[in-house]
Structure 1
Amino acid sequence: MASSSWKKWPDHVRDKWRDDLRDKDFWFNGYLKRPAYHKLVIELSTGFYVSWNVGVGPMNSFTRAISGMAVEEMLKNVGKFKHVIKVDLKPIPMAEQAQGRGLMSTKYQLALAAAKELGLLDQYYNGIKEKHDQVQYYTYGCDDDGRTSEDLEWHVQGTIVPQVIKHLVSQRYMLVAENLQWPIESHSLTLDAGLPSPMWSNSRWLISTASHDAYNKNDHLLSIDEDEHVMVLTLYALHQSAEHILNMTRQENKEYWHQRALQCFHYAMAIFAKHSQVVAVTSDELIHHWAAQGILPSMVAIKEEEQETTTISSKCSNMHQVGMVILEAFKKYSLLQLPFSPANDAYEATNTGAQFLAYHGLIAEGITVDELFDEKKKWISFASDNGWHVSPEWFRPEESRGATALIVRGCSHQSLILSKLDSSLTKLCFLRVLDISYTPIKSLPSSIGCLINLRLLSLRGCHGLKTLSYSSTSSATDSSINNTSNSPLATLYQLEILDMNGVPSAHLTQDVASQKWNLIHLDMSYSEITTFPPDFFQDMSNLEELILTSCSNLVELPPSMASLSSLTTLVVIGTQIKYFPQKIFEEIHKLQSLKLIDNKNLVSLTRQISRVQRIKLEGHPSLISFMLIGAPHIRHLSLRGCKKLESVEIKNLGALEELDLSGTAIKELPADIPNIPQLRRLLLLGVPSLRRFPWHRLDRLPVVFYLDHCSEENGNHSNQISHVCVTNPKFFHSFRNTAVDLVREGRFLQSFYVRVAPCITNNMHLQDEEGMLNSMLQELVKRESTYVDVYRSFYAHEIAMVPPVTIPLRRSERHMDISGKQSTLDGLRYLLIVTKSISVTCASSIDYFPWDVNFQELEECELRRCHKMTKVFNGTKGLKKLRNLHVCNLKSLYFFCEQYYNYTFNSLMHLHLEDCPRLEHVVPHRTKLPWLKTLDILFCYNLKTIFVSSYTEDDTYQLPSLQRIRLQELPLLQHFHTKDATITAPVWKELHVRGCWSLRHLPRLQGRQLEAVKVNGERSWWSKLQWGSPLHLDSYDPKLPPEFASFDECAEMSSYLR
């Protein structure tokens, strides 16, 4: 709607509203009786099937209030709806995303909201949604293959949307969509989102847009074009904001927060009124004002449901968190937006409720300097000689007689109020807030010392204030400076917030800080001081926030800082400080946030004992956030043992060589840290909260890199290798092609040891159970009192566990261990590309190595106790460099590799299969094994053949490098090859057989053998072999045990064949 068509209210109507707004009940429910309210709700509930809400004014404001009122009236007057589907289309995506079919599209979000209302989001959807969210989190939103997104999209479009249509096609429903940014056709909501046309069952669509261009001009438009309607929406929005605050804080009730929000809103109107701000009021400043007036409540500690951590633990954090929730509500419901700017016309004034009320002067009323002392005036602000006050009687505390806030922000030296400030303050003894910010005063008014109830004093931006002392003979604007050391701040014992940001005072006296027991916030940024008095902080035991930004002359902090036992936030930026007072951080044990930025001379947190420039802040009990930027001399930094440390930001430390973040609670590691040019050692031991890592943003890694989710062991860490021990393989989700390329280029991870396993207490559980079984059996034998030697011999033969035959796995310079019941390959796909040796143990969540795993560099592989694996390789890529493969104790293994897939093991030399009781065959006939030297198959009781053929193929099989085969306890093994093919094995020397009583045929050998194959086996087995020809028999040279040492087929094996 253009500004030219805006309907302005007459003066008498505006005056009537101004009178009504003085009544507290009118703000709560009284406005519901006004004709303007009834007129508006009638317009909003008009019986159109589709209504578009584009808000009010140039910024499309109050859309939420319009939708809220419209829905309430439709539910009252239009009748019952079976379902009310509400969806907020924020965050607003780009046009191509919103109008497409992806997860960010408008159609997808609408379909999802409908399905949620109808209860159609089943377990399968929740599963793929959780998987998608995890991939997005662990890849930092850079999921380049997009498979999880596609799965989610297909499920929604193919399954959920048809179900939505089926449920809604015959039911009356209401759709309430908010913040539509880009145009969408109504019929698309039916075809793509599953929402039947509202005309089919007398349903309603109410769609709020974020721009005038987004709505369908063929449908009904909810038009707001009157000042009175904006006033109604403002009052209704305050109700909505109270509901929002209640939902965020989860404390008190809606009425309580409505009163608090109303007080905060009125106070904001006192600050902004009709003034043009010299410098915009920040959110922190406004929150400080609210707190000093006692408007913000003292909340009890709020705990997050998931993390169970306290988020409000001090007055300042309480103040900021509750204040930000209120400001967020004001912004969300178009009541107030910072930075505030006065409106130039009535149409622009509709952007926010605060602009509207300020433009029309509906709350703040004019005041002159002479009326300053009127006991009925409460919150007063001046800009030049124009003054405004907000003084509802229902806000004023009974004990307060007179103003509690005086704001002269930005007044010039010609203004009357500033010239009379010194004499006026003596009569304003109830002031809790005095804001003299951005004024040209050159000395403090002496009468400030009379303000015994003052809670907040703001001198921010007073660039001419060179001293904090005062002269009793000079006015506030007098340029003369008295040399007395007395300061009017000395008697402000109730002061809680002192803002001197921008005050260039170069000298401080002790009386400025004396008896400041109640001070919780002190900002001395841009001060020109070089040092503090030694006992300056002695009386500030309750100080929680100390801000020292751009104090460019400051060279030293006083030892009295150790008295700041309540300090939670310390900001030191742009100083000349070299070190901090001795043991200061041991005393300020409540410190939660430490920011050290651009302190170019900083070399240590304590006075130097050695020449090594280091910062050592270990074991601090409460530190949550640490920031160190622009300290070029620091070479060593240790935050080891700071158990609550969650956030670390480290930049521009050109000399940093060693960093220890072990034993912390960090959740994110910025990519700037491992990319620090000179960093050669990075320790992250015992960091269970670090769930992901920015592999995709790395240009380098320190030569020594240790990361362990579980262990905090402080080893030597001197060897030049990267150790990464994590509990979740998703930790490597962001390790993608760019990281693989950097490894191949030699940029990092040339040597690494990676372990994916639960913490050691869980990882060793299975091994502990097996050890316990052995101990119990031995204890059983020891308890026998009679014929101990006989029992011992009996048990030793009958139940002794067979010691495994192991082929030593050669751990390469790039090795990976995977173990634990919950360990999977999810997230390891790209890291496996550059892995050269791998050991997988007790990983009961792995079925096989799938097709998307590419073992391009793998040389050594060991699999043990992976009882869910049905096959080892299933279309797995790579494997051309694999040399040694050891498979042991896989209870569910049916096939070594997929039968209908061609594999080429170009480098495989040793294959060992042991204790796989369900194994049926080993490799397909088409598998190439040109370098296989040894083949060991032991205790695979279901094995029928070694080489399986699925189709008619050549009747020969090539094993050109085979030297030894060892077969033991394979009772069902009948032959080597299903087709009884001829084997070409010119260098085959040894065949060891034990317990293979069904094996009646040895393979026929083709080609010239250098010598006959030496066969070692049971005599009874050898005697039952069947031969095709004398040449066949001559190919083997039996080396059988003597008859007295032979045993029959029923004998039990208690040791391996060696």
Structure 2
Amino acid sequence: MQRAIAVELNLDASVIAIIDKADEEDDFDGVDQGSRGEIMRVAEEIDRAFKDHRFMVVFHNGSGDYIDLNSFGFPSFTIFRGYFMLWTFRRRFQGSEGYPEMENKVQNTHFFAYETRYDILGKRILFPVLQNEAVAIAAKYPCMREINPEKIVDCCVYGLFLYLCLPEHLENEWAARASAYWMCDGIIQGDQAWEISSALSKEIKWDLCPSVLEVRGILIESSSENSTCCKRLNGTYFDENGISYPPMAITTSNSKVPLTPHDIQTVSADMSSYFLAPDEISNDALLVLADGLFDQSTNLRVLQLSHCSFSFASPPFIACQNLRFLGLHHCKDNETTKQIDPRKWQFLHGLWVLDLIYTGWYQVFSKEIAHLIINLRELNIVGPECWKYIPALHEQLPDVQMLRIVKSMDQPNASAYIDNYLMDKTKLELLDMSGTRNMARLPTNLSKARSLQVLILDGCDGLGNIVSDGLPHSLTSLSFDGYGPATNWTSTVELPTRDLRPSSVNIKKHIKTSTISLKGCKGLGSLFIRELPNLVELDLSGTAIKILDFTTMVLEVSSLKRLFLIGCEKLRSIKWGNSGSKIEPDLELLCIDTRPGIERPRPSFDKSNNNFKLQIHAVIEDARLARSLCDPIYSYHEGWYSDVSLSIHTSTLYDGFVQDEGACKDKIGQINDQVNLQQQQPFSVGQYHDVLSKVGDAPMQSFPHPPTTSLSRHIEIARGSHNLESELDGNWQFHRNLAYLMGRVSESLHVHDVLTTASMPGGDWYWDYLRWCRMERCPKMETIFPTDAVGFFRLETIWMADLPMARCIWSIGVRLFSNGSFEKLRHMHLRDCPRLKFVLPVWVPSFPRLCTHLCNIFVLDGHYPWRITVDGVAFPRLSTIHLHDLPMLQQICDVGFKMVAPALETIKIRGCWSLRRLPAVGEDGPKPAIEIEEDVWSALEWDGVEAGHHPSLFQAPLHSRYYKKKLPRGSAIRLIRAPSLFACLLILLVKHSFSAS
């Protein structure tokens, strides 16, 4: 609505961009088109456009509900400000509510007008209104730009006639076929006739309000003949008003006179459309049509016959050479003629649509005359014995585009029959096999129907698995409704709408289908699956599904265990919903990959592993798609997510499926504890790579391997991720996004090669489960975890590398760290973070128990015991320190306290040219071994032997084989590494955990 207003007001392109962005966000949130809210920024722009202007809004409300236009940005309408609005409900004359009901919905209106029966007929406003609406309809569709609006009026009148005259038992069924009638009657002509008729069927729907129904007696004239009543448009009224109208008639039962077999003797010769629609009666009292009943109806183009009998070998319409639409409903052969004369069946040449509904007219496809059917576009056969038609169709009807074989329940081998028929049907666009209960498999030759777009399998109870190998890649829509076939259909190449489907199932059926695979159907974007209780696996890989909705597209599939969406580039949302399917607690495996292509390795999840109830593997380019993963995961919240295995990768470059922790256990022991630094990185990132290339296998070159084994709930964020910053917001309005999964669910986190400036999520999320965090090559990130990021009860390993702008890992500020925070931290690795000032505020409740392998910089926060400044902080089990390539590092601990490490065994230092202090080690223990450049060792400052801080308390230092050259102050290398990192601390590797002293 706001988009239409913005376009009408010619608002700036930036406003349209806001609407586009909001629509995109709603897509990822799974919001229905009709449920999308107003955008405040757009409302402000609309309000600004109206400011200081007098205006009138003409609002055509297509519904019967009241809509508050002020929420869209319109100022309050009042006559004192010169703001006026002209409001109409629905289209004119339509709507089942009475006018008093409508008036109650707009009680604040100043004037309410409505039509009466006198207005419609006496003032003759019906057709002028239809003419104006015809112009409006034509303007909406490019295919109608050349059409005469009067033709659209004729279609409206045609539909109104059917609405007013069809008996109740045929009203919905035949009215749904109106688009075919308009075209076959000749109202809509030309190359785009089918497209135009299809579009008009969505626009022309009659649902008259009570006052308009009173005009039936004026618009329609009736004449009775024995037990029948013939109705047609009132020619006198139309002629007096100078209005053209299609010549058409409907013959129905006369309720006042009992029906007798021979009550129809003549049919007007000028009719172009004729409908015989008596009440449903027994076969013993069918109307009998004489052989030459329609011989004079040379203009007849549309013929619908219901509940009658005639000679199938010499039908009464055999002389109607202009016939385009022929529908036979519950018709029987009276067998008055046995012999077929092919010379008289030339009317079949022009036939476009043929409906055979519970009618066994097998003669039409006999060898003598079937070859005459050369222009048939649509064939619809309904009934338990309709399979008998299929053998005769082999090598016939090569140009048919829509084929329905519905409710064929008696043929045990229906698939084989249909196989032969599909051999040469290269133009077939729609195939409906609904209700074919004995079809055990899809026809093998279905893939040869290379133009097939719509496949309907509603009520195919005996169908086994559906696999994509037998489906044409042209398929765009599929329907498999366990409730059964649609009650009606339209002449459009699309799935039945919800209102044409059964609303319930009377008898629960045993539908065997356990697997549906539509993998590789690249155009498939429309899907309807319902009431398949044994469906276990649904594979939509490589399809064009945009929003997979488990409330409108896939319903009542209570056994669904596995869902595959690999190569679904257009996927924006999975809408799980709270009704219809309720599949989240039963789903076991969900695989998503939105990158192009479907030839991806499937995840190596062990089906025999019962440790997890739900396993999710997702590779998503747009981080917003992670919102759709929250609902199925959240359904296991009572189990604290221990029942969930999760692997999410937001990247376009991810190449394969990371194995879970269990799959990697055997390999962990084979990994060397140390790895060459050059091999560890895909490209050089340090300023001393030239040094490393020269020193060879010097001891200082050994560094620990980064964490590579993804845990059970793993998230990776890498280059190629889109819309990442908004999804890292832990305060996001719905609290169901990537931030939620990272903070509340993930056990391992790997972030690398991204350009985001955003920190990791804070807000309301506790990092309850995170065990290791690895971040590298993020050139714009300044703070890793914000002040409000709390929890970290299980965190064991932190690996940070190549973060040139990072100033801190955890920011300083008031936080709610509990007693358990960081108590399991064992390893912290920091490398090539030149601007880093500190890592972790020194005093968290668990600080005395912090573990070793701690790569850390300790600074004083606002909360710490005052004795720290006197006694220092003891690291009683700290054994090893590695410091590498930190040219601005001056000391290991903040100047505000002293670091005491009595168990220290090894110190390895390289490239820390500004280092001035080492930890105090005490006099009683063994002397620590130390590797350090001679220049750095000579420049160290000491507190003395009494303080446990003296060179004699260390072993003789081992100096590396490479020495830096003396450089003048302010040299290029110093300028490169000159961020303000004064009084900072960085511990790159600490082995063996330490506890409180």
TM-score (norm 2): 0.72
Aligned 1:262-273 pairs, distance under 5 A? 262-272=153-163
Shift of 1:981: 0.7
Partners of 1:113 and 1:453 in 2: CA distance: 45
Give 2:851's match in structure 1, choosing from 908, 927, 932. 932
Q: Which residue of 2 aligns with 1:91?
A: none
Q: Which residue of 2 aligns with 1:234?
A: 126
Cα distance change, pair 735–534 in 1 and its aligned pair in 2 (3 A): closer
Shift of 1:703: 4.7
**Does structure 1 residue 648 correspond to structure 2 residue 527?**
yes
Deviations, residues 616-647 of structure 1 (Å, cap 9, x unaligned): 53562311112334473344443332222223
**Does structure 1 residue 436 correspond to structure 2 residue 297?**
no
- Determine helix, strand or coil for the equivalent of 1:1020: helix
- Determine helix, strand or coil for the equivalent of 1:290: helix
Partners of 1:1002 and 1:668 in 2: CA distance: 60
Cα distance change, pair 156–969 in 1 and its aligned pair in 2 (3 A): same
- Determine helix, strand or coil for the equivalent of 1:597: coil
- Determine helix, strand or coil for the equivalent of 2:433: strand
Give 2:622's match in structure 1, choosing from 728, 732, 742. 728
Q: Which residue of 1 aligns with 2:747?
A: 836
Match for 1:621: what amino acid? Answer: H
**Does structure 1 residue 546 correspond to structure 2 residue 403?**
yes
- Determine helix, strand or coil for the equivalent of 1:493: helix
Give 2:104's match in structure 1, choosing from 210, 213, 236. 213
Partners of 2:67 and 2:443 in 1: CA distance: 65
> Is the 2:890–2:915 Cα contact (8 Å) retained in structure 1?
yes
**Does structure 1 residue 584 correspond to structure 2 residue 478?**
no
Match for 1:296: what amino acid? Answer: I
Deviations, residues 741-769 of structure 1 (Å, cap 9, x unaligned): 41663999733322111256999xxx9xx
> Is the 2:406–2:433 Cα contact (8 Å) retained in structure 1?
yes
Deviations, residues 313-372 of structure 1 (Å, cap 9, x unaligned): xxxxx63x53353244344xxxx33xx7xxxxxx8343xxxx5764422x7687989999
Give 1:665's match in structure 2, choosing from 529, 544, 547. 544
Q: Which residue of 1 aligns with 2:977?
A: none
- Determine helix, strand or coil for the equivalent of 1:735: helix
Shift of 1:725: 1.4
- Determine helix, strand or coil for the equivalent of 1:204: strand
> Is the 1:383–1:411 Cα contact (8 Å) retained in structure 2?
no
Partners of 2:322 and 2:10 in 1: CA distance: 57
Q: Which residue of 2 aligns with 1:597?
A: 458
Aligned 1:519-558 pairs, distance under 5 A? 519-529=376-386, 531-532=388-389, 534-555=391-412, 556=414, 557-558=417-418
Give me the CA root mean square deviation: 4.9
Partners of 2:740 and 2:863 in 1: CA distance: 35
> Is the 1:446–1:471 Cα contact (8 Å) retained in structure 2?
no
Q: Which residue of 1 aligns with 2:605?
A: 719
- Consecutive unaligned residues of structure 1, counting only runs of 5 or more, are 1-87, 89-108, 301-317, 341-346, 388-399, 473-481, 604-612, 779-791, 938-944
Match for 2:127: what amino acid? Answer: L
Shift of 1:870: 1.1
Deviations, residues 290-333 of structure 1 (Å, cap 9, x unaligned): 12112234455xxxxxxxxxxxxxxxxx63x53353244344xx
**Does structure 1 residue 881 correspond to structure 2 residue 794?**
yes
Match for 2:462: what amino acid? Answer: N
Cα distance change, pair 510–977 in 1 and its aligned pair in 2 (3 A): same
> Is the 1:515–1:540 Cα contact (8 Å) retained in structure 2?
no
**Does structure 1 residue 404 correspond to structure 2 residue 272?**
yes
Shift of 1:886: 0.9
**Does structure 1 residue 699 correspond to structure 2 residue 584?**
yes
Partners of 2:72 and 2:377 in 1: CA distance: 59
**Does structure 1 residue 279 correspond to structure 2 residue 158?**
no
Shift of 1:872: 0.6
Shift of 1:873: 0.1
> Is the 1:921–1:948 Cα contact (8 Å) retained in structure 2?
no
Aligned 1:949-1028 pairs, distance under 5 A? 949=861, 954=866, 955=869, 956-957=872-873, 959=875, 962-983=878-899, 985=901, 987-1003=903-919, 1013-1028=928-943
**Does structure 1 residue 497 correspond to structure 2 residue 353?**
yes
Cα distance change, pair 191–869 in 1 and its aligned pair in 2 (3 A): closer
Partners of 2:66 and 2:437 in 1: CA distance: 56
Partners of 1:747 and 1:895 in 2: CA distance: 30
Partners of 2:777 and 2:643 in 1: CA distance: 29
- Determine helix, strand or coil for the equivalent of 1:617: helix
> Is the 1:997–1:1021 Cα contact (8 Å) retained in structure 2?
yes
Shift of 1:541: 0.9
Q: Which residue of 2 aligns with 1:633?
A: 512
Deviations, residues 446-499 of structure 1 (Å, cap 9, x unaligned): 332222221111113x2xx344x8423xxxxxxxxx698999978523211111
Shift of 1:258: 0.9
> Is the 2:519–2:542 Cα contact (8 Å) retained in structure 1?
yes
Shift of 1:961: 5.4
**Does structure 1 residue 382 correspond to structure 2 residue 250?**
yes
- Determine helix, strand or coil for the equivalent of 1:524: strand
Shift of 1:1024: 2.5
Higher mean C-alpha displacement, 861-870 vs 290-299: 290-299
Q: Which residue of 2 aligns with 1:261?
A: 152
- Consecutive unaligned residues of structure 2, counting only runs of 5 or more, are 91-101, 236-243, 256-267, 483-509, 607-614, 658-677, 728-736, 968-972, 975-986, 990-997
> Is the 1:209–1:215 Cα contact (8 Å) retained in structure 2?
no
Cα distance change, pair 627–718 in 1 and its aligned pair in 2 (3 A): farther
Partners of 1:961 and 1:442 in 2: CA distance: 104
Shift of 1:652: 4.2
Shift of 1:868: 2.1
> Is the 2:829–2:854 Cα contact (8 Å) retained in structure 1?
yes
Partners of 2:135 and 2:290 in 1: CA distance: 41
> Is the 1:935–1:966 Cα contact (8 Å) retained in structure 2?
no
Shift of 1:900: 1.2
Partners of 1:674 and 1:191 in 2: CA distance: 34
> Is the 1:683–1:705 Cα contact (8 Å) retained in structure 2?
yes
> Is the 1:241–1:330 Cα contact (8 Å) retained in structure 2?
no
Q: Which residue of 1 aligns with 2:711?
A: 812
Cα distance change, pair 727–435 in 1 and its aligned pair in 2 (3 A): same
> Is the 2:623–2:721 Cα contact (8 Å) retained in structure 1?
no
Partners of 2:563 and 2:960 in 1: CA distance: 65
Deviations, residues 108-145 of structure 1 (Å, cap 9, x unaligned): x7xx987776667784x6676555444432232399xx
> Is the 1:594–1:626 Cα contact (8 Å) retained in structure 2?
yes
Shift of 1:867: 1.8
Partners of 1:751 and 1:190 in 2: CA distance: 44
Partners of 1:191 and 1:499 in 2: CA distance: 48
- Determine helix, strand or coil for the equivalent of 1:736: helix
Instruction: Count how many residue pairs are aligned between Structure 1 and Structure 2.
Output: 830
Partners of 1:439 and 1:182 in 2: CA distance: 44
Partners of 1:286 and 1:805 in 2: CA distance: 75
TM-score (norm 1): 0.68
Deviations, residues 207-234 of structure 1 (Å, cap 9, x unaligned): 4467211334672334545724665543
**Does structure 1 residue 708 correspond to structure 2 residue 598?**
no
Shift of 1:807: 2.2
Deviations, residues 511-565 of structure 1 (Å, cap 9, x unaligned): 5744322111122122434534623243211111222222222332252332322
Cα distance change, pair 247–887 in 1 and its aligned pair in 2 (3 A): farther
> Is the 1:755–1:816 Cα contact (8 Å) retained in structure 2?
yes
Q: Which residue of 2 aligns with 1:457?
A: 326
Cα distance change, pair 679–264 in 1 and its aligned pair in 2 (3 A): closer
Give 1:289's match in structure 2, choosing from 181, 193, 200. 181
Match for 1:348: what amino acid? Answer: P
